[in-house]
Amino acid sequence: MGDLHEHPELLLERLQDSSGAYPASPTFSAYRGYSWFRDGAFIADGASAAGLADSADRFFDWCSRTIAGIAPSIDAIVAAQAAGTPLPDSAMPPTRFRFDGTAGEDDWWDFQLDGYGTWLWAMEAHAVRHDRAVDRHAPAVVATVRLLVSSWDRPCFDWWEEHDEHRHVSTLGCVGAGLEAALRLDVLPTALAAEARRASIAIRELVHEQGLHDGHLVKWLGSTDVDGSLSALVAPIGWIDPDSALARTTLDAIHRDLEVDGGVHRFRDDTFFGGGQWPLLSCFLGLAELAAGDRREAERLLEWARSTATADGLLPEQVGRHLLAPDSEAEWIERWGPVATPLLWSHAMVARLEAALAADREVAR
């Protein structure tokens, strides 16, 4: 696999399934054998930015095939919504899939919309970065947009698969970014494109009306707290202008409430494995700071993320250097075993931030 300390992206291609799916973690009991649209889209974006374009291509092909497999359920969701009789959450499409594109049979926190928006954003960004044709993805893009247009306003689980009673700002931003990316791809039928445009505008208006507190984005509509995922909306997703006051105030709130010595927590009430710090969130914050013009801060956050690697260069999901709920750590270890290591999403985000810093250096020259 080469030196993962120097090239964390090598693990992405090495462990990618022959189907194109990226395993969330090859060894962690709760993740083994599954791929997520959310994690996978960010992994593919990291692979694409690091130069592994063919690997990203294979993942997006997997996404298209997987969407084709759930197209009948999307038809049913859209029809029920149009009839004013929305289907229950249990009938919504899953968030994680087996490598063959089928859904798992065990219980999971499944109704999550963010990944369906994120794969559209990541695929369009990859197509632009590497001048890729997107015609073969058009049916999957259309199906995904139909799902998002019909259901974006529904409460669902967040990135962390918690609190399905809320509408989460990170989820809304991912959906909005995905709809905007789909419009740029120019593969939508005219009527659907108009619906997607209206929905994307409505999402921005809703977030600005109900998703802010003291000038910063919040965890969910009506909340006052921040979430570590919010920095991704600044960069790499770019749904929030990195030069805006909203971006600056949001990043400052994340630093104040969630960042300790370079490591970023998910949210203040986190108890998962004791509520540790996540390398991937430090990288998201670093990407946002770099986009906002603070290279030194991005380098500091990257250094912390890289410091979490094992002796073999494997990056974990989180580390216990600063726990928010230390009394909760043991119960999760007893339930699922040690923290997921490696987590491919962590590797991808370190690679993504390194690629962004390298590009910034080139521009500075």
Q: List the catalytic residue out of 161, 180, 195, 289.
A: 161
**Any alpha helices (H) in 166-220, and if so which ranges?**
169-185, 190-210
The two three-digit tokens of residue 266, written as one number: 């998910």
Q: What is the pLDDT of residue 123?
A: 98
Length of the chain, in residues:
365
| Host H or E run for residue 255 | helix 245-258
Look up residue 267 and give its amino acid: F
Q: What is the pLDDT of residue 2?
A: 63
Q: Report how far residue 290's alpha carbon sits from residue 66's, in angstroms, rounded to the nearest whole number.
A: 34
Q: List the catalytic residue out of 270, 289, 317, 329.
A: 317
User: How would DSSP label each residue in 295-312?
Assistant: HHHHHHHHHHHHTT--TT
Q: What is the pLDDT of residue 128?
A: 98
For residue 35, list its beta bridge partners: 97
Q: Report how far residue 326's alpha carbon sits from residue 275's, in angstroms, rounded to the nearest whole number.
A: 7
Q: List the catalytic residue out of 9, 114, 158, 297.
A: 158
Query: Is residue 161 among the annotated active site residues?
Result: yes
Burial class (CB in 10 A: 0-12, 13-18, 19+), 271: middle
Query: Is residue 158 among the annotated active site residues?
Result: yes
For residue 263, list its beta bridge partners: 260
- Residue 36 · residue 345 · CB < 8 Å: no
Q: What is the pLDDT of residue 108?
A: 82
> What is the set of domains in the chain, with CATH numbers?
10-364 (1.50.10.10)
Query: Is residue 186 among the annotated active site residues?
Result: no
Per-residue pLDDT of the chain (365 residues; tens, 9 = 90+): 568 999 999 999 999 999 999 999 999 999 999 999 999 999 999 999 999 999 999 999 999 999 999 999 999 999 999 999 999 999 999 999 999 999 987 788 889 999 999 999 999 999 999 999 999 999 999 999 999 999 999 999 999 999 999 999 999 999 999 999 999 999 999 999 999 999 999 999 999 999 999 999 999 999 999 999 999 999 999 999 999 999 999 999 999 999 999 999 999 999 999 999 999 999 999 999 999 999 999 999 999 999 999 999 999 999 999 999 999 999 999 999 999 999 999 999 999 999 999 999 988 87
Q: Report how far residue 298's alpha carbon sits from residue 326's, in angstroms, rounded to the nearest whole number.
A: 28
Provide the whole-model pTM: 0.98
